[in-house]
Amino acid sequence: MTARRNLFVPRRGAAFCYIPAHVISRARKSSVDNDFGAEHTTAKLRALGDYLPAYTTALKAQPFRLTYIDAFAGTGECRIKIRGGEKITIPGSATLGHRCDPPFDRLVFIEKHSGFVDDLNRLRASTPEREIDVICGDANVELPRVLARLNPASDRTVIFLDPFGMELDWATLKAVAKSGFADVWYLFPLSGLYRQAAHNSTDVDAGKAARLTRMLGTDRWRVDFYKEPPQMGLFSKPDEVRDFDVQQMTDWVTEHLRSIFPKVMPPKILHQTMPSGVQGAPLYALYFAMANPSYRAHALATRLVTPSLR
């Protein structure tokens, strides 16, 4: 038998971060390849893994049915590359929801890739006594449907929104915000935003513009992010250059989320990690938002979530 050992993987602001041995199974392959980067994967899963049991503990004495909804659920496992190129497998978000103790009353996994859905069905079959729905489909269609069937008086839910890129539509976020009872972790694709909203407006073709507008729910980004260059040649076409840097775009997104959610915490920025361990470009902004308008709920969640967003 191979002895398990604790591993350290690169992390922002420090050379390494710690993954305890019990969460690792070395290079165990899911039925379908599902590889992600190390730093942002461990950071988002650490935040989720800390929050879920804190949430079910805080609400366990209350008369609510607690549901965990994983709208971009993956396979239940994540294979990440650590320093030296070795790959390890750690529990993914669906497994964190499944293992959460105290447990959720119900789990809902939404996943578009049918091969990944097979893995999620295996996770479901491992505990047939539990209420687990595995839905193969588009989160933008399925998540609003799931929410519409929950009862604001008796249901409370944590939703994890973890797309690869710009797959989540603003209309879906609006449905979540409208629910009034969901807490949300959203891994917002910052690099998708600043790559699609290219430096020069002439590089933003119709497809990129449509994708940005779908993700942001408005085309106001055209006006807010860009300005005409100060010196225009005589008769030249008025190309615009992006005036906003990544920090300003992030601040814009934070305020935009605040226009629909009563509470949005300042995000944690997750960076690419270079092979040397040095911090690279910003990739994602990890947001925590609440649809619940209650100040008491905000105060409790702020206490629970703040350490994860530092």
Ligand X SMILES: C[S@@+](CC[C@H](N)C(=O)[O-])C[C@H]1O[C@@H](n2cnc3c(N)ncnc32)[C@H](O)[C@@H]1O
Q: Which stretch binds ligand X (CB under 6 A): 22-30, 107-115, 204-212, 250-258?
A: 107-115
Q: Kindly state the smallest distance separating residue 221's Cβ from ligand X, in Å.
A: 21
As given in the structure block, the two tokens for residue 4 are: 């398990």
Q: Tell whether residue 111 is a contact of ligand X (CB under 6 A).
A: yes
Measure the CA–CA gap between 294 and 24, rounded to whole angstroms. Answer: 38
Nearer to ligand X, 186 or 261 (CB): 186
Using the contact rule CB under 6 A, the part of the chain among 13-21, 58-66, 68-76, 199-207 near ligand X is 68-76
138 binds ligand X (CB under 6 A): yes
Among 81, 98, 112, 256, binds ligand X (CB under 6 A): 112
User: Residue 164 interacts with ligand X (CB under 6 A)?
Assistant: yes
- Find the binder of ligand X among 87, 106, 113, 174 (CB under 6 A): 113
The verdict on 139 binding ligand X (CB under 6 A) reads yes
Q: Which of residues 2-61 bind ligand X (CB under 6 A)?
A: 36, 45
User: Shortest approach of ligand X to residue 68 CB, angstroms?
Assistant: 12
Find the shortest distance in angstroms from Cβ 73 to ligand X: 6
Rg (CA), the chain: 20
**CB of 133 or CB of 138, closer to ligand X:** 138
What count of other Cβ atoms lies within 10 Å of the Cβ of residue 172? 24
Nearer to ligand X by C-beta: 36 or 226?
36
Under the binding rule (CB under 6 A), the answer on residue 163 touching ligand X is yes
Give the residue nearest to ligand X (CB): 92
Per CB under 6 A, does 72 bind ligand X? Answer: yes
Q: Which is nearer to ligand X, 39 or 162 (CB)?
A: 162
Number of residues that bind ligand X (CB under 6 A): 20
User: Distance between CA atoms of 261 and 211, rounded to whole angstroms?
Assistant: 22
Question: Contact positions toward ligand X, by CB under 6 A?
Answer: 36, 45, 72-74, 78, 92-93, 110-113, 116, 138-140, 162-164, 167
